Structure 1
Amino acid sequence: MSSLLFTPLKLKSIELRNRIVVSPMCQYSSVDGFANDWHLVHLGSRAVGGAALLIAEATAVSPEGRISPEDLGIWKDEHIEKLKQITDFIAGQGAVAGIQLAHAGRKASTYPAWKGRGQVPLDQGGWKTLAPSPIPFHHSEDTPLELDQAGIEKVVADFAAAAQRSLQAGFKVIEIHAAHGYLIHQFLSPLSNTRTDNYGGSFENRIRILLEVVDAIQNVWPAELPVFVRISATDWVENGWNEEESTKLAQILTDKGISLIDVSSGGLASNAKIPVGPSYQVPFSAKIKKETTALTGAVGLITEAQQAEDILKNKEADLIVMARELLRDPYFALHAAHELGDDVAWPIQYDRAKPAAN
């Protein structure tokens, strides 16, 4: 291949056919956590479209960990069957199936965007949320319940059980969701974590639950398969979680055997002012890649083939994690390869539509 974007990457025992990753994107299309044909087509079409790794949306490790009542879940064995159908299809297209395991914490029990805003009332299917400290995400929301030691231990155990089910469901990569203001991120940030026990205060205490989740997953997940962690590199708010802490955490996670840090930002503070624009989060990935031994994934309004190629050429990331552009164009990878002058295989069913090589 002439481009870096279409150079394979080996992560432990798996090899990605290129550097394009389908970012986990919530579909809010489940009933009781079950995957269905929407998820099959959503993920399957992007595997057909040439992406290397497809990470299923934030998948709740417990019912109370869902962002919305319509979230995908993996808290019971009955969820496995349909997920296995999806991962089998993805593998059949030469791609790798990953899953993002998540707990929404205080940002749980909310409406999908097209159904309204804010928290779902208890009498309409909502539930009481959990958090490291009794601080709501927004002043208009109910105060979450502060997790006690038993509650924290349950969260860690739920992640481990979800990892075991993920393996049975055929996933080859786990991504731990520690970003976007959800539960693990709530522990990381001093804005949402005011605890005075072993899980609050110092940097070492605030990262404790994440490290416990990592250990619990690694105890049940095969050593030859990768585990990623997604972080928000900054809260974009003064005195919040920041780039320096993210860089320090990235090295700790890498030393513990985490294969890649998926570097996003924001989501914790409702008053954050984020300068959104093309590649606006790439500098965070670049900093971590430069200052640690971690492999990184870059995300954030990456929409063009040459833009993605340049990020890799500049050694700002090792993977390109794409969201909205892959909603617009499930076949972005096939189109990008042609644009960059690489001759990649198309699905044989579509081969007659493949453009001539540049």
Structure 2
Amino acid sequence: MITAKSLTLDTPFTIGGKEFRNRLIMAPMQQYKGSPEGYATEHHIQHYARRAKGIGMVIVESTAVSDNGRLWPNDIGIYSDRHADALKRVTDAVHAQDTPIFVQLSHGGRKSAPNVTKRLIAPSAIAYDDSYGKPAELTVSEIEALIENYRMAARRSIKAGFDGIEVHAAHGFLIHQFLSPISNHRSDAYGGSRLGRMKFLKDVLAAIRSETGRHYPVIVRISSTDYIEGGLNPQELAMMLKPLAEDGLLDAVDVSSGGLLPIQPDDIHPGYQLPDAAVIKQHLQIPVIAVGKIYTRSFADRIIRDGLADAVAIGRPLLEDPDFAQKMIGLKE
């Protein structure tokens, strides 16, 4: 019998009914190798396949749901069937390692790359900084069109062979901009109260579910804090996420932080985001993923054993060493 105290990084776990062989996840990390049109390239095939062996799950880098929402000029996207066809080569290569792969669906909103963005948009006409410039406030019809972009991206994600979807609602991008009172000053149904500010995320998740059904894993990446008084905090995020999980719209939460404003945390130490993940986990009955300089097996095991999070995601070490996950898990050739 598996008890909480016997859980380790090796223990299988489930998200949305899908079982994963261990609790180590490759976090989404930008490659800056997409084609000018936003297609995944041979680099992505080799990069993800090389790092997939032994890890519990791969999450692909930010993948734009709209050509007007790319985070960088060399972002990849999934806003056409041709984009899905290019990504199918990536999922096939990762599946050859017997590893599940998720896509991270994103839209930059006011932080979309200026040199490839036709019209900068946001919940409210508030700039991130001078380099991005002031965005236009979205109309309700434009919001509805964006929700449709996410729905079609979900359909293409299934076509491309992804085993699940992570909705990017962190790091100051579009959904985060709706969630935070710092960037959302709307007075209509998509702003104001906590329920109003979470409506865009709820509508996006419902649109995605209309394509995936209930038993396809859908997770969300959130920023637990805006690092400023009056911004989001882990308690408020938990209250936003709880009804989404209870309604079956959400299967797990990936907890990061910051990005809404040009503010950095004072101390970036191993596990610096872990306390926020633990707070969120106290309120939810779905898995919580911790991330943030958790680079040793002993630390990861302790996090899982102590119930602070259900899984651990790593990013930068895998960029530097493709075999890092195998070493952390302790796999032998």
TM-score band w.r.t. shorter chain: over 0.9
TM-score (norm 1): 0.88
Alpha-carbon shift at residue 56 of structure 1 (Å): 0.7
Match of 1:45 in 2: 50
Q: Distance in 2 between matches of 1:148 and 1:126?
A: 18
Aligned match of 1:28: 32
Tell me what 1:115 maps to: none
Q: Does 1:301 align with 2:293?
A: yes
**Match of 2:319?**
327
* Distance of 2:144 and 2:117 partners within structure 1: 23
Report the Cα offset of residue 294 of structure 1: 2.7
How far does the alpha carbon of each residue in 1:61-98 deviate from its partner, in whole angstroms, 9 at most, with x for none? 00011011210100000112221121112112111010
Q: For residues 69 and 9 of structure 1, what CA distance do their matches in structure 2 show?
A: 36
| 1:1-358 equivalence runs, <5 A | 4-31=8-35, 32-48=37-53, 50-109=54-113, 119-120=114-115, 125-257=116-248, 258-338=250-330, 344=331, 346=332, 351=333
Deviation string 1:8-50 (CA, Å, 9 cap, x unpaired) is 11223422111011111111211211001111111111112x2
Contact 1:30 1:70 in 2 (8 A): yes
Measure, in 2, the Cα distance between the counterparts of 1:14 and 1:56: 18
Q: Do 1:236 and 1:274's aligned partners in 2 also have CA atoms closer than 8 Å?
A: no
Asked whether the 8 Å contact 2:164–2:218 carries over to 1, the reply is yes
Distance 1:237 1:299 in 2: 21
State the Cα RMSD in Å.
1.6
- Partner AA of 2:41 in structure 1: N
SS at match of 1:64: coil
- SS of alignment partner, residue 214 of structure 1: helix
Kindly tell me: are residues 263 and 107 of structure 1, through their superposed partners in 2, closer, same or farther at Cα, counting changes over 3 Å?
same
**Separation (CA, whole Å) in 1 of partners of 2:89 and 2:195:** 40
Q: Any conservation in 2 of the 1:302–1:325 contact (CA below 8 Å)?
A: no
Distance 1:294 1:16 in 2: 15
CA distance in 1, matches of 2:108, 2:266: 21
Q: Distance in 1 between matches of 2:120 and 2:281?
A: 35
Greater Rg by CA = 1
Does the 8 Å CA contact 2:111/2:132 hold for their aligned counterparts? Answer: no
- Structure 2: distance between partners of 1:19 and 1:337: 9
- Check 1:289–1:328 CA distance in 2 against 1; reply closer, same or farther (3 A cut): same
CA contact (8 A) 2:294 2:300 kept: yes
After TM superposition, the structure 1 stretch with the greater mean CA deviation from structure 2, 225-234 or 245-254, is: 245-254
In 2: Cα distance, 1:147 partner to 1:195 partner: 10
After superposition, the C-alpha distances for 1:139-195 in whole angstroms (9 at most, x for unaligned) are 443211111011100110000000000000000110011111000000111111111
Q: What displacement does 1:126 show?
A: 4.6
Aligned-pair distance for 1:313? 1.1
* Ranges in structure 1 where 5+ consecutive residues have no aligned partner: 110-118, 339-343, 352-358
Tell me if the contact between 2:28 and 2:61 (Cα under 8 Å) persists in the aligned partners.
yes
TM-aligned CA deviation for residue 314 of structure 1: 1.2
User: One-letter code of the match for 2:158?
Assistant: L
Measured in 1, the distance between the counterparts of 2:177 and 2:16 equals: 30
Distance across 2 between alignment mates of 1:9 and 1:17: 7
Structure 1 contact 250–294 (Cα < 8 Å) conserved: no
Identity %: 40
SS in 1 for 2:72: coil
Q: Quote the offset at 1:274 in angstroms.
A: 4.1
- In the alignment, the residues of structure 2 paired with residue 298 and residue 240 of structure 1 have an alpha-carbon distance, to the nearest angstrom, of 21
What are the ranges of 5 or more consecutive residues in structure 2 without an aligned counterpart? none
TM-score (norm 2): 0.94
Amino acid at match of 1:37: E
Moved more, 86-95 or 206-215: 86-95
